[in-house]
Chain A
């Protein structure tokens, strides 16, 4: 502020010197010293006015006034610390919660991808026309190569697919999550290695094994040694040359766990029937960079032409994939979380609105105590505009303080939410308060301040000064209109509270339903893990014998009830759908049905408590040399054998493992349905092959224990290592954990919305309590008089409680009406329950009314305890 003081001083000096010169001149004209001074002042004019006009010329007048008013507002707030702290705390809750949710939205949905010109990056897939709606299907290598060669709209198109590999690190075999990527992968993303070279087209050819290390892997495993470039590392028993190291922070695909390195697709082109030549082997995710100026639609049309041609050219594999899907990468990545984020943000906005109404009520009550102050100001010439400005500045200072406290609260809330958050939401872990969030807080604080300050300010500016001054001494102040406004605010708060309560109630009921779902298996005391038995080095029978021996050893461990192995584990993200044909029902190659494939060792269904409905389980007879067999679930039997008995039918599945190449299998059993994808998804048709006859991936060990399963983990690891030290054990978890994770998203949503509802209920109750207390204070005289004239104390009590109940009922009805519209928005998040669930509505209404009555009772009791003599004497 120093510079404008200096400016003032300079103006003073300038005016002073003018006066002095004038005075001198007047003296020279023969006037006495005193006369000269007066004359000079006359000639000069009104000094104060000139000073003010000059200030105005500087253009700072408004700001000066503003700062003065702001200082005054701050002083007033400091003088009522109780009121100020209450308001700031309430505002902090509202703004803090809103900020925390916004920072999540910002991180997940709004922040752009960390790549140059990331808006040109698109997710690319092919549409499966045999399924309804949008059904993306991964690409095969031959498809990908054709798309890469024939498109006219892309600067580049890259493939990537996840893999886990075994690697010897620090003397121990470990399983690592990596990505197999086309050589232009990094160029398409716009990233370059910080060390070494980029992958080149040569690296896609057989034999040219190359890897690109991530920064963190290079740091942790190779001590950040720059000489690593050009050296070779060994994984899965093969050697790979390190091409380079990516810079710190580079990560793609953005998922958990992040890939530790990226290997070239050279090894996909090797072997007897390489993946790079199988058009039906759809495993690739694809990302592309649009050419400058090309739209998503144009790219989609371009790629669809290619897909259409391929479908005609290769009907056996591509018949149903005759068009392309293209979507901006960011939108694709965050698509699933969008509706939930929108609902959470909507809910927290309602909380903020409620906070505004609440604080407005507080200001209104306080304002009527100050009506004398403002009447006096108006009487001595303050314009309504000046009074409104003063009051708005007060509410703005309140909301800005609330905003600052809110930021502090948001820091804590974000941390808490991240620990509760299901980790599947991409990018969520980097949620933080950045510049955009701070701007958001500022805007929200100002908007909040204006919103909750506007009503009370408008009311107060309109009070007639004469009346207000006359009545100021008595506590009858506050006109009818003001009461109506205050009542309205309380009704709005109750209504918002009702809406949030209904929303939370519905989610809670739906969540209970989810937990009640029978998953089709028993997760209690089941421990699971995988062992990385290498496929290339071990012979077929050795591989299976390893598992047999392992299961034997584990079953001999104390505390183990049952043990087996199977794949995929329900609720894990793995899945494979493989086409098949049923004997006696010939179809064309491209029209074959395909369903979800599973693998099981004998005893798997028993261990998982998946019921056998007909036929038998796999046994020793379904081994490496036995007859090819298959077990289907009930959904499969219902879909494909609605009229026949499934046992004894024959199915040929398109799976080969070298030993068993697409044999015709006999159905030997039917098992119960299980929730494979999640508790809320329908059980889908599934078939299981005996693991011995389909050695295509390492299955999950499932171990049923007597007590806590987690304690068993070490013993299982030891059993594996007794058999073979070089085989790593990974993905150890209990089945309960898988179940818990599958309900993580609804649990999180329910938890957050319930928190909001509790806050809303508390604030609505505080608002009602505040209004009634204020009413009792205002009507002390009247109530005292009534009691003195013979009214029963119970009457006073009833009057206040009835008043509270009326307001609560009004809010309740309004809230019900509003939620009839709003709950439709969350119907997609509900499971097994309709948005108009009568039980939820009734319970919510009862809770709200009970809390309202409780909030009314305290002021009502106070009213009934009034001492009439004392009251009348004091008034």
Chain B
């Protein structure tokens, strides 16, 4: 896979991935590995993503001010992890992205299953 192809796929996924991360962080602060596991678990491993790809997204979200991060002790073990937290701005962004996603999903649904709408 060339860098260019990878970049294209990243762009495609990017918007969705951002939303999923923000949604996941609604449960509370988590570090990168937890977020990845959480998304995988919730989608029953349907989203076969390499969780390394979370990190560019996390740093991007942080730069936009939607999440903040802090090195903190993990409660269950004796070492520090970089925990991400949703900010107020991030919460608002989640609402925006959610509604956009809904609109798109509905639009796609109307085209794919026109009968479903009638019923």
Contacts and interface: CB of A to CB of B under 8 A. Distances in A.
Interface of A: 10-11, 13-15, 17-18, 21-22, 42-47, 49-50, 53-54, 56-59
Q: Which 4 A-B pairs have the closest CB atoms?
A: A45-B50, A45-B52, A53-B56, A57-B60
B33 A17 contact: yes
Contacts, number: 60
Given A10-B82, A44-B50, A58 B59 contact: yes
A241 to B, nearest CB: 67
B53 A50 contact: yes
Interface in B30-83: 31-33, 36, 50-53, 55-57, 59-60, 63, 79, 81-82
Nearest to B6: A49
B96 interface: no
Nearest to A42: B50
A22 B51 CA distance: 10
Contacts of B79: 17
B107 interface: no
A50 B52 contact: yes
Contact of A18 (B10, B32, B57): B32
Nearest to B35: A18
Contacts of B115: none
A54 B55 contact: yes
What range describes how many residues of B lie at the interface?
20 to 34
B116 interface: no
Given A15-B52, A43-B51, A54 B33 contact: no
Nearest to B36: A18
Contacts of B55: 11, 14-15, 18, 50, 53-54
A44 to B, nearest CB: 4
A728 B115 CA distance: 114
Contacts of A58: 59, 63
Given A10-B82, A49-B3, A53-B10, A18 B51 contact: yes
A63 to B, nearest CB: 14
Contact of B82 (A14, A42, A47, A50): A14
Contacts of B33: 17-18, 21-22
Given A10-B82, A44-B51, A50 B63 contact: no
B56 A14 contact: no
A50 B82 CA distance: 17
Contacts of A10: 82
Contacts of B32: 14, 18
Nearest to A44: B52
Given A14-B82, A17-B33, A44-B51, A56 B63 contact: no
Contacts of A42: 50
A54 B69 CA distance: 15
A46 B79 CA distance: 25
Contacts of B56: 50, 53-54, 56-57
Contacts of A59: 63
Interface string B3-18: 1001000100000000
Contacts of B51: 18, 22, 43-45
A45 B63 contact: no
17 contacts: A10-B82, A11-B55, A17-B81, A17-B82, A18-B33, A21-B33, A22-B33, A43-B50, A49-B3, A50-B53, A50-B55, A53-B53, A54-B55, A54-B56, A54-B59, A56-B56, A58-B59
Contacts of B3: 49
A828 to B, nearest CB: 59
Contact of A45 (B53, B59, B81, B82): B53
A384 to B, nearest CB: 17
A92 B10 CA distance: 48
A57 B52 contact: no
B90 to A, nearest CB: 16
A420 B79 CA distance: 75
Given A46-B6, A50-B55, 20 more contacts: A11-B55, A14-B32, A17-B79, A17-B81, A18-B31, A18-B33, A18-B51, A18-B52, A21-B33, A22-B51, A43-B50, A44-B51, A45-B50, A50-B56, A53-B53, A53-B55, A53-B56, A57-B56, A58-B63, A59-B63
A166 B65 CA distance: 75
A14 B36 CA distance: 13
Nearest to B7: A53
B61 to A, nearest CB: 9
A45 B1 CA distance: 12
A13 B81 CA distance: 9
A44 B52 CA distance: 5
A45 B53 CA distance: 7
B62 to A, nearest CB: 8
A58 B56 CA distance: 9
A18 B33 CA distance: 5
A22 B33 CA distance: 8
Contacts of A13: 82
B105 to A, nearest CB: 27
A591 to B, nearest CB: 81
Contacts of A45: 50-53
Report which residue of A44, A47, A56 has the largest number of chain B beta carbons within 10 angstroms of its beta carbon: A44
A42 B51 CA distance: 10
B4 to A, nearest CB: 12
A43 B57 CA distance: 17
A361 to B, nearest CB: 39
B63 A47 contact: no
Contacts of A54: 55-56, 59
A650 B32 CA distance: 110
A10 B82 CA distance: 9
Contacts of A57: 56-57, 59-60, 63
A541 to B, nearest CB: 94
A832 B41 CA distance: 96
Contacts of B53: 45, 50, 53
Report which residue of A15, A18, A58 has the largest number of chain B beta carbons within 10 angstroms of its beta carbon: A18
Contacts of B10: 53
A53 B8 CA distance: 12
Nearest to B34: A21
A15 B51 CA distance: 10
Contacts of A11: 55, 59
Contacts of B36: 18
Contacts of B57: 57
Contacts of A43: 50-51
Report which residue of B36, B50, B52, B53 has the largest number of chain A beta carbons within 10 angstroms of its beta carbon: B52
Report which residue of B33, B60, B79, B82 has the largest number of chain A beta carbons within 10 angstroms of its beta carbon: B33
A13 B33 CA distance: 13
A50 B6 CA distance: 10
Contacts of B31: 17-18
A11 B59 CA distance: 10
Contacts of A49: 3, 6
A45 B10 CA distance: 13
B25 to A, nearest CB: 16
Contacts of A15: 52, 55
Contacts of A56: 56
Nearest to A7: B59
A56 to B, nearest CB: 7
A363 B45 CA distance: 59
Report which residue of A10, A46, A57 has the largest number of chain B beta carbons within 10 angstroms of its beta carbon: A57
Nearest to B62: A57
A46 B52 contact: yes
A11 B63 CA distance: 14
Contacts of A21: 33
A337 B10 CA distance: 63
Nearest to B82: A14
Nearest to A45: B50
A473 B59 CA distance: 49
Contacts of A17: 31, 33, 79, 81-82
Nearest to A59: B63
B77 to A, nearest CB: 10
A56 B50 CA distance: 19
A42 B10 CA distance: 18
Report which residue of A11, A17, A22, A42 has the largest number of chain B beta carbons within 10 angstroms of its beta carbon: A17
